[in-house]
Every structure is written in structure tokens, then in C-alpha cells.
């Protein structure tokens, strides 16, 4: 009985940890077969009452995973590495083309549309958050859902 | 008297010929863009490119003559670019689906020839559209091509490794059938805006 309670407690704790950082609409843009880098886009929401700090990221499918930010100034495109992404309570971080993205460097193999890519976000607290994303082919600028509206 | 008439006819003919030639080459007034189109720059008179010699995605020579006879869209970038270059290339692929822009050259040119070999360029452009042209070559030749267009770039990170990023000017250019740059659209790009701007400018000059 005691063991069961402990198990239940562990389960509740585990769910709780996962719930702090909510991941939505994660996808990876399909890239040419020889591409050395891919970009993942997603939406993160901090559902914790404390600030969450994402300090690094990793994946078994890539040599390196980094958070990057694209910015435009007078027609110049610049990509900068974000060392850590701090999110205050209830803050939403939208990663989309032309802005924040997760850069996946040196894939272990070629990923095609429909493949799944898993990464881990490492938080300053020591916790890790797993993100699962599907590779989308020839991705349009806007998420797929938005495109359906026009075709009707 | 007969000689005078002869001279007169000669002068009139020469004048008409001269007038004809200037008419051919006379720069039409700069078109007025619809006010809602932002980040669209028209070059009037157009920018003429100096002689350059690059390699296309099949390793064939690509020079000024290769731009003759067709309108072209041109975008500079590097194939290791995960976000902006694929977005702009996807927009170029979207323009290519428009019936009135089908008969254009669609060109991607690298600013990173060290990593972007002919094979790498072919892999990149054909992913977006097998009919697209990809250009690389000697740095000095790329410089001749990009400098007059105002393409500036900067490497960030360790360029002796494979891991560096390139900050670069990321406009989509419009070149006329004489290989002269007529206009460019600043990023970020989306199909409706770039299509409207390019169609407007291209049709204006076609109808002159």
C-alpha cells in the first residue's frame, strides 16, 4: 500500500513537472537532403508561477541543438544564438519562421516529411522537457491550419 | 540645289535613326508603386552588372549572357541557413506557381562558396524546384556579381570550422531581360506581397 502511494505521488509529481512548460504546434521544416541545419518551430507557454529559464537543448538525432533568433534590419538578415531563454510566469514564446527557432545542427540521418524529431530542453532548475515534432514538407510560411481557411 | 536636298535627306535620316536609338534605350519614368507596398525599391535607371563568370548547379558557366532574354528573380544566401533562406526560397517557389511569372529565371546565388559547392547548391535549389538555377563560383566572381546589387554579408563564428553563420542582405531582386537590376523587395518575404510588387513592376516595364 505504501509503495502504491509513493508511486502515485511520483506520478503526480512527474505530471506536475511536465505541466509547467507547455509545448504546442512543434514542427520541423523539411530541408534539402544534404542540409547541415534544420529549424524547429513551436510555441512555449510557462504555466509555472516562477520564471523558467531554458539554458540549453540536446537531441540524440543531432550533434548540436541551439536556440537562435533571426532578425531583420534594413534588409539584412542576422541569426543570433540565444544563450538562455528566460520566460516569466504565463509568458508565451512563439518560435516561427523569421524569428525565434531551435536550430538543429548536423543530423544523424536525412529527415523527410512525416518523420519525428525529439529534442530535450534543459531548464536552469535541472529539469528537462522533451519536445516531439513532426517534419513538415515544403512548409508554407504560416502554419498548415491557417492555410485551410483560404481554400474554402 | 540637288546636293542641298541630298544633304537634307541625309541629315533627316541620321536624325531619325539617332532618335530611334535613343527611344529604344530611353529610360521610362519610374513607376509609382501602390502606397500599401512597403519595402519595395525600384532602381531607375536600372543597375547594370559588370562582366562576371559563375558556375550553375550543373557546373556549367553562367555569365551575363545567361541573363539575356528572360526576366529573372534572384536571391542571395547560403545553403546552411535554416530559417530565412528556405523561407525566401519557398516564396520563390510560390511565385513560380503563378502563371504570369512562370517564364522567369529563378536564381539562388551563394555568398558562401567555401561550403556551397556545385553539388551542395544543386541539392539545395532542386529541393525547392528542379527548374531553379543555383550559382556558386570563385569568390572574386561572386563579388563582381553581388557588389553592384548592394549585397553585403558577414561571417560570424569560426570560419575555419564548418560551424559559422552568415549575416547577409536578404532581398529578392528583379532583373530585366537584359540582365539589369530593376527592383528588389526587402525581407521578410511572403508570396502575396512579393507577387504583387514584382508583377506590378515587371508589367510596367514590359508595357513601355
In a domain, A147, yes or no: no
In a domain, A103, yes or no: yes
In a domain, A110, yes or no: yes
Domain extent for A100: 2-136
Instruction: Please determine, for the modelled complex, whether the ipTM score is greater than 0.85.
Output: no
Domain boundaries, chain B: 31-206
Q: Do A38 and B82 touch (CB under 8 A)?
A: yes
In a domain, A30, yes or no: yes
Tens digits of residue pLDDT in B9-25? 666 666 555 555 555 56
Picking from A57, A148, A135, A36, the residue whose alpha carbon sits closest to that of residue A100 is A57
Q: Do B80 and A36 touch (CB under 8 A)?
A: yes
In a domain, A38, yes or no: yes
* Secondary structure of chain B as H, E, C letters: CHHHHHHHHHHHHHHHHHHHHHHHHCCCCCCCCCCCCCCEEEEEEEECCCCCEEECCCCCEEEHHHHECCCEEEEEECCCCCCHHHHHHHHHHHHHCCHHHCCCEEEEEECCCCCCCHHHHHHHHHHHCCCCEEEECCHHHHHHHHHHHCCCEEEEECCCCCCEEEEEECCEEEECCECCEEEEECCCCCHHHHHHHHHHHHHHHHCC
Q: Say whether pLDDT at A2 is over 80.
A: no
Interface of A with B in 79-138 (CB under 8 A): 79, 97-98, 101, 103-105, 138
Q: Say whether pLDDT at A142 is over 90.
A: no
Tens digits of residue pLDDT in B132-191? 999 999 999 999 999 999 999 999 888 888 889 999 999 999 999 999 999 999 999 999
Q: Which CATH number fits the domain B31-206, given the four candidates 3.60.150.10, 3.40.50.2300, 3.30.930.10, 3.40.30.10?
A: 3.40.30.10
- Which one of B123, B187, B190 has the shortest CB-CB distance to A77? B187
- pLDDT recorded at residue A18: 52
Total domains in the fold of chain A: 1
Q: Do A75 and B186 touch (CB under 8 A)?
A: yes
Q: Which residue in A33, A77, A111 has the most chain B C-beta atoms within 10 A of its own C-beta, making it the best mutation to test that interface?
A: A77
Contact between A110 and A31 (Cβ < 8 Å): no
Provide the whole-model pTM.
0.83
In a domain, A150, yes or no: no
Choice between A143 and B169, residue whose per-residue pLDDT is larger: B169
Choice between A24 and A147, residue whose per-residue pLDDT is larger: A24
- pLDDT recorded at residue B135: 98
- pLDDT recorded at residue A124: 94
Q: Say whether pLDDT at A4 is over 90.
A: no
Taking residues A34-62, report their average pLDDT. Answer: 96
In a domain, A143, yes or no: no
Confidence of residue B7 (pLDDT cuts 50, 70, 90): low
Tens digits of residue pLDDT in B62-94? 999 999 999 999 999 999 998 999 999 999 999
CATH number at residue A70: 2.60.40.1890
- Classify A127 as helix, strand or coil: coil
Choice between A148 and B31, residue whose per-residue pLDDT is larger: B31
- pLDDT recorded at residue A147: 37
Amino acid at each position: 500500500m505504501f509503495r502504491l502511494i509513493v508511486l502515485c505521488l511520483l506520478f503526480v509529481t512527474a505530471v506536475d513537472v511536465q505541466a509547467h512548460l507547455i509545448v504546442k504546434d512543434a514542427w520541423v521544416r523539411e530541408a534539402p537532403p544534404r542540409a547541415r541545419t534544420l529549424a524547429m518551430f513551436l510555441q512555449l507557454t510557462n504555466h509555472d508561477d516562477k520564471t523558467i529559464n531554458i539554458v540549453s537543448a540536446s537531441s540524440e538525432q543531432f550533434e548540436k541543438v541551439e536556440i537562435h533568433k533571426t532578425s531583420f534590419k534594413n534588409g539584412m538578415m542576422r541569426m543570433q544564438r540565444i544563450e538562455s531563454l528566460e520566460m516569466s510566469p504565463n509568458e508565451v514564446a512563439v518560435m516561427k519562421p523569421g524569428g525565434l527557432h531551435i536550430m538543429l545542427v548536423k543530423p544523424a540521418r536525412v529527415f523527410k516529411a512525416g518523420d519525428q524529431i525529439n529534442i530535450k530542453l534543459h531548464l536552469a532548475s535541472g529539469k528537462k522537457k522533451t519536445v516531439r515534432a513532426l517534419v513538415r514538407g515544403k512548409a508554407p510560411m504560416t502554419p498548415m491550419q491557417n492555410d485551410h481557411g483560404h481554400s474554402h | 540645289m540637288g546636293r542641298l536636298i541630298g544633304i537634307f535627306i541625309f541629315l533627316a535620316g541620321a536624325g531619325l535613326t539617332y532618335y530611334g536609338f535613343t527611344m529604344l534605350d530611353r529610360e521610362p519614368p519610374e513607376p509609382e508603386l501602390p502606397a500599401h507596398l512597403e519595402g519595395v525599391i525600384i532602381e531607375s535607371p536600372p543597375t547594370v552588372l559588370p562582366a562576371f563568370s559563375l558556375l550553375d548547379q550543373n557546373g556549367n558557366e553562367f555569365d551575363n549572357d545567361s541573363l539575356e532574354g528572360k526576366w529573372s528573380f534572384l536571391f542571395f544566401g547560403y545553403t546552411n541557413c535554416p530559417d530565412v533562406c528556405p523561407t525566401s526560397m519557398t516564396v520563390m517557389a510560390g511565385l513560380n506557381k503563378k502563371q504570369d511569372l512562370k517564364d522567369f529565371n529563378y536564381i539562388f546565388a551563394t555568398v558562401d562558396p567555401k561550403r556551397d559547392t556545385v553539388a551542395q547548391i544543386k541539392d539545395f535549389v532542386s529541393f525547392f524546384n528542379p527548374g531553379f538555377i543555383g550559382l556558386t563560383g570563385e569568390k572574386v566572381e561572386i563579388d563582381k556579381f553581388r557588389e553592384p546589387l548592394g549585397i553585403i554579408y558577414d561571417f560570424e563564428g569560426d570560419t575555419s570550422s564548418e560551424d559559422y553563420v552568415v549575416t547577409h542582405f536578404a532581398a529578392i531582386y528583379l532583373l530585366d531581360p537584359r540582365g539589369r537590376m530593376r527592383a528588389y523587395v526587402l525581407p521578410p518575404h511572403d508570396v502575396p506581397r512579393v507577387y504583387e510588387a514584382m508583377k506590378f513592376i515587371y508589367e510596367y516595364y514590359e508595357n513601355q
